[in-house]
Structure 1
Amino acid sequence: MTTATLPLKPITEDFKEAVAFALSQNDVTRAFVKEVVDAGLRNVFLIGCGGSLTASYPVHFLLETRAAFPVFQMNSDEFNLRRPALLGEGSLVVVSSHTGTTKETVAAARYARSAGAKVAAISRDADSPLAQAADLALTYRSEDTVVAPKGVLFGQLGHALLEFTGAQGDYAALRTAFEALPDALYTMQEEGEELAHSIATALADEDMTYVLSAGPNYGAGYGFTMCYLMEMQWKHGGSFHAGEFFHGAFEMVTEDQPVILFLGEDATRPMAERAKTFLDTYTRKAHYVDSRIFSLPGVPEAVRGDITPIALDVFVTRLARHYESVRGHDLDQRRYMFRVEY
């Protein structure tokens, strides 16, 4: 049983500043994208590892849904080893790494440029090896506030790609929404504290937790499972697509099986609602994170579905902090990562 606890760490002090700094790079992002499109954009690759890969799920969903060009998403080392046939001139490769030193991702950036692709990097610092290997470096300068500005940088790039390739969209409303994010996402974290505490308290001692999500929100669920439960809390977790859940994994649900389900406001919400109906019936340990509970002040109602994947991803960071506090297990504690050769 959990006995030791740690003080709950507050919302990061530089949260609004880091998000605002990401927003300030919209003009340079748009100029770069316009240049790439004018030169003959053929396809887009979204490349990263771990949390930097999960951060690209919303923009991957966005582009696959609305873009007239193909978009691919894959782990950095798979990209390097697979050597996609469609990579070359006319490709835009977006690489992401928090430190900018992830060796597979730096190698991916260099490989992409050698193949004739344009490369945009998203990382903490402009002088990182990854940033230096790219044609465009987008940064957020923070060690503590990472998920929200990454979501903003990916989102701005994705919407610029859509706009400059002629996809229909309410880009004015989207810009209004993005400009509201420093305050809206901060407020969202405050609004979610009670829910995050209740989930962490209820599931702190559970042996295995299943996490369900879908569409642009899949990154939030998968990232919470792998990066936070498993990497940072050393707890067993399984992440499943809410639609795929009914094709195998749901057989493991009993009345005592803990499940966390993320529900967004995009086109894939019906899959999450179907999962909720099942969980309401067959387990007493289901916990729901529904983006509809967040007010997101300043975000126009019509484009909430584009913003709520970022909001759910940010909520996950607070949920992890509550686990840290309730369980007394520091999120920075590691057995292997950054400690041994691997």
Structure 2
Amino acid sequence: MKIQEEVKKVVKQAIAKIAKHGKIKQILWVGAGGSFGGFYAANYFLQQEAKNIFTAMYTSGEFIYAAPKNLDQNTLVVLCSMRGTKETIAASQIAQNAGATTISLYVEKSALLDYSDYQIKYESLALDESRIERVNSSIGLCIAMNVLNEVEGYDNYAAAMAAFADLDPIYRRAVEYTTPLAKKWAELNKKQRTIYVIASGPAYGAAYIFSICNLEEMLQLNSPTIHSYEYFNGPFEVTDKGKSIFQLLATGKTRPEDERALRFEQRFAGEKLYVLDGKEIGLDDLPEEIAPYFNHSIFSSILNNVYMRELSYTTHESYLTRRYMWKEEYK
């Protein structure tokens, strides 16, 4: 079964369950680390397209301690955890106890499924054989599009569903295109201890994951994530020719913010300024009205599987090593 069909079926069931108590009023996206960041695409889509459905993202820990007061039977909570992070399991319990309907995304079965009304298995983007339409960020986006279409209608629904079949071919071409570029970038940055990652709009989530999951967690490098507009409200003061800056140029409405940041960077940064443009990695192959919403799925996969890996190879540091994760207690 195509992932679009699987998601559509689950969403219809979830909406029908909620309809017993009235209309759905909000969707809350809950996860930890990359599972949290992967929901940026879905959340961004609903912020742009939904008229009456509220949307918000919560880290699993924050949801445990500070779940919103309006969490109730008219809420859909979508959770994600690859292996069953304990805080995400606890968050799912809280959601169900409040009467909310829950959908969980998972790779390995865990106790999370015991506290989920519906489940969808996804494929890890870190595995070369995984198809991009089946990674967590793509499935989250597909859920958001289907909920909107069921509840309010979505004019571009057919085009969006068709686009999921194009994601993996676009990604494979982008890997081929970016690999030699990433090798040069990695060689230039092999002794760099801090890499600034800058983005906005539909690409900001990919920048966030690249910083915290790829560069900081996997390579133990310092990596602030900076919004392209907020760059001019403080962070641009540290720009100089010795800094390593990785600028994402998104496709879509917020691209002028990225371009503005880039113009300044080109004036004051040095040879370690690097630009990854969504137009160059295939996002323009999708219809203009839906292409921005797929920025995350393509950018995040390329950043993890090409740029992070090449930097790891160049520095001779295995991206599978950790200092604290899975080794030390951090209750």
Normalised by the size of structure 1, how large is the TM-score?
0.88
Shift of 1:135: 0.7
Shift of 1:292: 0.3
**For residues 172-194 of structure 1, what are the alpha-carbon distances to aligned partners after superposition, in whole Å with 9 as ceiling and x for unaligned?**
11111112223222222222212
Residue 84 of structure 1 aligns to a residue in which SS? Answer: coil
- Percent identity over the alignment is 25
Among 112, 130, 145, the residue aligned to 2:112: 130
Q: Distance in 2 between matches of 1:23 and 1:322?
A: 32
Among 222, 232, 237, the residue aligned to 1:251: 237
Shift of 1:131: 2.3
Q: Distance in 2 between matches of 1:256 and 1:161?
A: 47
* Superposed counterparts of 1:206-221, under 5 Å: 206-221=192-207
Whether contact under 8 Å (1:185, 1:296) holds in the other structure is: no
Shift of 1:195: 2.3
**For residues 109-160 of structure 1, what are the alpha-carbon distances to aligned partners after superposition, in whole Å with 9 as ceiling and x for unaligned?**
01100010001111103x3221232111111255736793112211110100
Whether contact under 8 Å (1:22, 1:152) holds in the other structure is: no
User: Which ranges of structure 1 fall in alignment gaps of 5 or more residues?
Assistant: 1-19
Does the C-alpha gap of structure 1 residues 141 and 243 become closer, same or farther in structure 2, counting only changes over 3 Å?
A: closer
Does the C-alpha gap of structure 1 residues 150 and 74 become closer, same or farther in structure 2, counting only changes over 3 Å?
A: same
Among 127, 135, 139, the residue aligned to 2:121: 139
Q: Distance in 2 between matches of 1:105 and 1:234?
A: 25
Shift of 1:36: 4.8
Residue 56 of structure 2 aligns to a residue in which SS? Answer: strand
**Stretch of structure 1 that moved more, 71-80 or 22-31:** 22-31
Whether contact under 8 Å (1:187, 1:296) holds in the other structure is: no
Q: Distance in 1 between matches of 2:285 and 2:240?
A: 41
2:11 maps to which residue? 30
**Stretch of structure 1 that moved more, 299-308 or 116-125:** 299-308
Among 316, 320, 324, the residue aligned to 2:303: 316
2:181 maps to which residue? 195
Whether contact under 8 Å (2:34, 2:213) holds in the other structure is: yes
2:172 maps to which residue? 186
Greater relative contact order (CA < 8 Å, ≥ 6 in sequence)? 1
2:64 maps to which residue? 80
Q: Distance in 1 between matches of 2:81 and 2:218?
A: 18
**For residues 203-254 of structure 1, what are the alpha-carbon distances to aligned partners after superposition, in whole Å with 9 as ceiling and x for unaligned?**
1211211110111211111111111111110111111111111101110111
1:117 maps to which residue? 100
Whether contact under 8 Å (2:18, 2:75) holds in the other structure is: no
Does residue 1:334 correspond to 2:326, yes or no?
no
Whether contact under 8 Å (1:176, 1:299) holds in the other structure is: no
Q: Distance in 1 between matches of 2:38 and 2:25?
A: 23
**Stretch of structure 1 that moved more, 138-147 or 60-69:** 138-147
Whether contact under 8 Å (2:41, 2:202) holds in the other structure is: yes
1:58 maps to which residue? 41
Q: Distance in 2 between matches of 1:140 and 1:25?
A: 11
Residue 301 of structure 2 aligns to a residue in which SS? Answer: helix
1:288 maps to which residue? 275
Does the C-alpha gap of structure 1 residues 298 and 283 become closer, same or farther in structure 2, counting only changes over 3 Å?
A: closer
**For residues 55-79 of structure 1, what are the alpha-carbon distances to aligned partners after superposition, in whole Å with 9 as ceiling and x for unaligned?**
0111111111111211111111111
Residue 224 of structure 2 aligns to a residue in which SS? Answer: strand
The alignment's C-alpha RMSD in Å is: 2.0
* Superposed counterparts of 1:90-105, under 5 Å: 90-99=74-83, 101-105=84-88
User: Which ranges of structure 2 fall in alignment gaps of 5 or more residues?
Assistant: none
Residue 42 of structure 2 aligns to a residue in which SS? Answer: helix
Does the C-alpha gap of structure 1 residues 43 and 84 become closer, same or farther in structure 2, counting only changes over 3 Å?
A: same
Shift of 1:42: 1.3
Does residue 1:303 correspond to 2:290, yes or no?
yes
**Stretch of structure 1 that moved more, 268-277 or 291-300:** 291-300
Does residue 1:226 correspond to 2:212, yes or no?
yes
Whether contact under 8 Å (2:14, 2:101) holds in the other structure is: no
1:10 maps to which residue? none
Shift of 1:26: 2.8
